[in-house]
Chain A
Amino acid sequence: MEVITKDLLRLATIGSVDDGKSTLIGRLLVDTRQLFDDQLDAVAAASEKRGVGDLDLSFVTDGLRAEREQGITIDVAYRYATTPTRKYIIADCPGHVQYTGNMATGASTADLALVVLEVAAGLKEQTRRHLCIAALLGVRSVVVAVNKMDAVDWSQLAFQRVVDEIETLSRQLGFKSVHIIPVSALLGDNVVEPSKNIPWYEGPTVLDALESSEAGAWEHTTTQGARLPIQWVLRQPGGGRTYAGMVCGDTLHVGERVWLLPANIETTISAINFGGESITEATVGLAADIELADETNAGRGDLIATRPLPRVVNELATTICWFGEKPLQVGQRLRMKHTTKTSPVRVKVINGVIDIEKLDVDDSTTLTTNDIGLATLQTADLMVVDDYRANRVTGSFVLIDEATNATVAAGMVGHASFL
């Protein structure tokens, strides 16, 4: 049998409500034949039952009862697609501002953002907000589907107006790769098949743009140091210990000099295992366990790193997406989960809320629900961090309400370069 080796691309759909995100994903899955007959039949039956035509493609991903009743996406739906060389994990995110936490959930692991917007409406505030969040979350590649071209009679002028707006914003936000494509998700133009209605456009279809994008961007970092946040200590036969965790940043090798942090102990990797078998190196994304040459009392929450080393701090300048119902205040106490370590934290200073239109920071001293702001946090324990822009694993954290255990914020170490 043929050996199938595929890479993995994670993408998130973003954009405002009703611009057609779910319909576009439905179209993409149907036209690339990712859906089984019974799944298509079920979508057709549900469409008929709700009187929304023969085949409402948004029902491919909007699977909850409430979503179908209201015709909106409430939470992220994950769908999967494969092409000959690639597996796709697709997070279809909700557009409503009240579900920003769900949108950030879907976008936080994305290599690429598939932005959907309606050509006649242009760049809405909610689309700007989502693009801004995607940029903050470190997404570098975007494919923009300028949708509902059929509704403007395939007008090049209408498309060009939106292109100019998107290009200006993309430059400000610093995306590395941007494809802007005129589509009709409803009719399928330029989604998988090139459009016959848009002869003036000669660029890629949405599928072409996805197929040519860089996979694994999520794991890539700009810091060259390798990091292994320790999850668990495994006892080996004969009394030794190994430290289990997922490698990020760069590959770890047997014989390499490493530092155990925050204790700052310099030692050497004497062995690396995976699943109980010995290996010589652990690449990024591998859930390995490693043995250190010197005796240490390392445990969960400690971090093993190579140079350049991360920072050891108890005060952090951060960017925070606040999802809590009550405003975040200076002096408030929360729990922070950062890599495999959880520490009490206190809000020391709130340095303002990001203005989505102007892309600058105002002088607010509280964050209300779905605000993105800048805050300085004081931690009870010593934290081992990188800037988020350098390493998405050691630069990210969530904040947890101590009473309810709810996740109330997503946080990133440092500030985005566009601010």
Chain B
Amino acid sequence: MTTPVPTPNKTDHLDLLESHAIFILREVVAECERPVLLFSGGKDSAVLLHLAVKAFAPQQLPFPVMHIDTGQNFPEVLDFRDDAVERIGAKLVVASVQDTIDQGKVADPGLLGSRNRLQTVTLLDAITDNKFDAAFGGARRDEDKARAKERILSFRDTFGQWDPRQQRPELWQLYQGKVNPGEHVRAFPLSDWTELDIWQYIERERMALPEIYFAHERDVVLRDGMWLAVGPFVEPRPDEVIEHLSVRFRTVGDANCTGAVVSRASTLGAIIDEITLANVSERGATRGDDKFSETAMEDRKREGYF
């Protein structure tokens, strides 16, 4: 018990987060039969895909990439998705919320209505149809108080539900993802990363991102305290004034519930400086989907949301 302790290694916090995420990716692939990586085209899923490539280099990704397409995406994000997947030669599965609507499984909210919550049905159907038993997601625990409670490997029953009161103990780095048929796990390799860690890592790795993350000029309207981009999914209402501002997006979700922040930060360095000084959290600043109630995220997660 008294032998000397080896010299601490020289790695910094980003190195440790990176290796931890790679370790999780490999564990899940080794233990589960049919994993899939959920990819939205946002910065977190871009980092996740980048880490997945590193984890299995020089081989191809040993699992497909799946996009749950609400049909209300920013076009820049779809372009980025297609480029990213093609560049690494991954297989892309697209599951469409429109198909779920056409099948009559959920009510059509109309062109301008939010499809955010409907995605859960599309996602769970796609997991069942493809017999996926593990789904990687880019969620981070610093995003929301319900996510802060979730395990890195999070069990889902045959209805796709998360039960926050019955989570499997998850000790050390012993991730166990064994499930019975019809059940699955969600795996969150970026659990311990913060928004700032993500941006610092993107800068360090010189990663590409959708253009809408960087400051650009755009027509926006102020609605419920958020700047929404005027476009096919956001029509200005009679009482709203269109403004032309320099904005960027801090998160990427559906065009009709993701707000822009007024910003001139057009480089990674400027973005990092900006969020270091921010007074408002990324979801608080930009996400209408979290504002339904005190426990909006917990309620959606229980149903099987991302």
Contact = CB atoms under 8 A, between A and B. Distances in A.
Given A37-B280, A101-B169, A246-B173, A285 B56 contact: no
B73 to A, nearest CB: 25
A231 B148 contact: no
Contacts of B19: 246, 285-287
Interface string B206-217: 000000000000
Interface string B263-306: 00000010011000011110011000000001100100000000
B169 A323 contact: yes
B6 A220 contact: yes
Interface stretch (A13-21, A256-264, A391-399): A391-399
Given A78-B141, A283-B10, A231 B3 contact: no
Contact of B298 (A63, A74, A76): A63
B279 A78 contact: no
B146 interface: yes
Given A77-B145, A405-B179, A337 B174 contact: yes
Given A77-B149, A392-B172, A222 B26 contact: no
Interface stretch (B77-85, B107-115, B189-197): B189-197
Contact of A64 (B4, B141, B146, B278): B146
A231 B26 contact: yes
Given A78-B192, A251-B9, A340 B1 contact: no
A1 interface: yes
B171 to A, nearest CB: 4
Q: Give the most central of A219, A222, A251, A405: most B CB within 10 Å.
A: A405
Contacts of A245: 26
Nearest to A389: B1
A39 B284 contact: yes
B33 interface: no
Contact of A222 (B1, B13, B18): B1
Contacts of B104: none
Contacts of B295: 63-65
A351 B4 CA distance: 32
A87 B144 CA distance: 19
A366 B1 CA distance: 30
Interface residues on A, range: 35 or more
Interface string B17-32: 1111011001101100
Interface in A224-279: 224, 231-232, 234-237, 244-246, 249-251, 273-276
A36 interface: yes
B88 to A, nearest CB: 12
Interface stretch (B35-43, B63-71, B160-168, B253-261): B160-168
B172 A65 contact: no
A373 to B, nearest CB: 16
A406 B178 CA distance: 9
A196 interface: no
Given A75-B149, A284-B9, A286-B19, A223 B59 contact: no
B13 A396 contact: no
B3 A244 contact: no
Interface stretch (A3-11, A185-193, A203-211, A326-334): A3-11
B148 A105 contact: no
B246 interface: no
Nearest to B148: A77
Nearest to A63: B145
A358 interface: no
Contact of A397 (B141, B169, B174): B174
B199 to A, nearest CB: 11
Contact of B280 (A38, A338, A410): A38
Interface string A395-409: 011101000111100
B26 A232 contact: yes
A398 B284 contact: no
B125 interface: no
Interface in A45-60: 45-46, 49
A338 B171 CA distance: 11
A380 interface: no
B186 to A, nearest CB: 15
A105 B154 CA distance: 13
B58 interface: yes
B171 A398 contact: yes
B230 interface: no
Nearest to B192: A89
B54 interface: yes
A291 to B, nearest CB: 12
A286 B15 contact: yes
B5 A221 contact: yes
Nearest to B24: A287
Interface string B124-166: 0000000000000000011011101101000000000000110
What 8 A-B pairs are tightest by C-beta distance, nearest first?
A63-B145, A276-B57, A38-B284, A275-B54, A283-B9, A287-B22, A36-B281, A101-B169
